Amino acid sequence: MTTTTQTEVIRPPESPGLWKWIRENLFSNWINGLLTVISLIVIYWVVTTSVRWVFFAADWSPVLTNPLLYLVGQYPREELWRLGASLAMVSLLLGVSWRKWGGVMRTFAYMYALFMLIGAFWPAQGETLTMPMRIFFLVNILVTLAGYFLARVAAIRSAYILGAWTASAVISLILLSGVEALNLLPKVTTGLWGGLLVTLILAIGGITISFPIGVLLALGRRSSLPVLSVISTILIEVVRGVPLIGILTLFSIILPLFLPPEMRIDRLLRALVGMTIFSAAYMAENVRGGLAAVPDGQIEAAKAVGLNGFQITTLIVLPQALRAVIPPIVGQFISLFKDTTLAAGIAVLELLSVGRSILQANPEYIGLQTEVYIFIAAVFWIFSYLMSYASRRLELALGVGER
């Protein structure tokens, strides 16, 4: 007697076609079908109206006129080579970082090249961008590529790149502000700085300085030393209980009243200190949440293998805590970047203040506030989205949310 056994082959289900997906997801019943049709009509109306207004009805002359005001404010035009030198350093280091780290840095390099192309071909009116400036924007793209191939040929360590970024920030500040003792580098007061330059200085400076201060405050609040814990707690709660504009007013207007007459602190520096302290207090609470999420068993295991308190904090606790709170930390960074507009309340000419000044300086621009504010909002959205994108890539690389 012969027995025949048939083996059934199990194949994965075929992917549904486009029309099948539309029928099952958008027109599965009459209610979904009605909602789909209404949504399509609304989307079509919004898109066509927006495109018609942007390209045909809107008057972008306040944006196209004087583009340098949006970038650097009243910074002396004959000293713009300093900003160019700083930009060249950024281009070179961005190319090196792109080759070394890839991922997010590659996206930043692409966006940077796009910004350079926009600057090179910007349809400026009035105070136009000169031809050397346009050529310089294009050359920066080549400098970024040069940095990429330089890192490809030479083995450059990550620590060296981080050190170079730090050194470039210090050198750029010295170049932009100048040195009184040097005739070739005359002093340029920060009262002449403005636009996107000031916005980025406040944002980048506040982010990079507030992060380590916030970590220290979080550790201090959880410290077993009562004095350190009380001081950290009082500082965090007092700062978090005051609005940012109040902190800025305190450092910009009230603080000089208590200083000696001969002692004057730069206005931009005062704004930066105020924003840094405000952001550090919120950063401390975000980090404290991550510290609380680290299981006690991790600390006990580290003590069991002979690690001291400093090693446990820096090697075991902090890496896990920071990894767990990447989203709120980046959210705080984005919030700080947008809060730079509040510096207008203490006469710091950031990007939004420059846009208002341009509208008020020319009677022809009356009624064109919408175009200016949409342009400024687009600039803030681009930078905020880049930070959010970098956060998502970092979370993916570190496996945040995965077991």
Residues of the chain falling short of pLDDT 70? 1-16, 125-128, 399-403
Nearest Cα neighbor of 147 from 112, 196, 197, 119 is 112
pLDDT tens string 93-119: 999 998 888 777 888 888 899 989 988
The β-bridge partners of 193 are: 73
CA distance 277 to 239: 8
Cα 226 to Cα 189, 231, 263, 281, 310, distances in angstroms: 44, 8, 35, 19, 18
- What predicted TM-score, i.e. pTM, was given to this entire model? 0.86
Find out if CATH 1.10.3720.10 is the number for domain 193-403: yes
pLDDT at 50: 92
Q: Residue 272 carries which side chain, given as an amino acid letter?
A: L
Q: Return the pLDDT at 152.
A: 78
The maximal CA–CA distance of the chain, rounded, in angstroms, is: 113
Task: Note the pLDDT of residue 311.
Answer: 85
CA distance linking residue 203 with residue 382, whole number of Å: 14
Neighbour count for residue 167 (Cβ, 10 Å):
12
pLDDT at residue 1, as a whole number: 47
- Cβ-in-10-Å burial (0-12, 13-18, 19+) of 233 comes to middle
User: Which residues neighbour 399 within 8 Å (Cβ) at sequence distance 6 or greater?
Assistant: none
Inter-CA distances, 95 with 66, 151, 158, 311, 394, Å: 30, 8, 13, 35, 19
Map out the domains of the chain as residue ranges.
67-188, 193-403
φ/ψ (deg, to 5) at 349: -85, 75
Residue 327 burial class via C-beta count within 10 angstroms: exposed 0-12, middle 13-18, buried 19 and up = middle
Distance CA 59, CA 252 (A): 37
Say how far apart CA 202 and CA 197 lie, in whole Å. Answer: 9
